[in-house]
Amino acid sequence: MVPFSILVLFADERLGLDGTGYGVILAASALGGLAGTAVAAPIRARIGYRWTIVASLGLGAASLAALSVTTDAVVAAGLLALYILHAVVWGVCSVSLRQPLVPDGLRGRVNAATRVLGLLGLVVGSVAGGLLATVHIAVPVAVGAAVFVGCGVVAAVALRDPDRR
Each residue's pLDDT tens digit, 96-141: 999 888 999 999 999 999 999 999 998 998 999 999 999 999 999 9
Q: How many domains does the chain have?
A: 1
In a domain, 164, yes or no: no
By percentage, how much of the chain surpasses pLDDT 70?
96
In a domain, 140, yes or no: yes
What digits encode the pLDDT tens for the residues 82-99? 999 999 999 999 999 998
Distance from the Cα of residue 114 to its chain's centroid: 16
What digits encode the pLDDT tens for the residues 19-34? 999 999 999 999 999 9
Average pLDDT over residues 24-45: 96
In a domain, 163, yes or no: no
CA distances from 156 to 19, 52, 56, 132 (A): 39, 10, 11, 28
In a domain, 107, yes or no: yes
Residue range of the domain that includes 87:
4-158
pTM of the model: 0.91
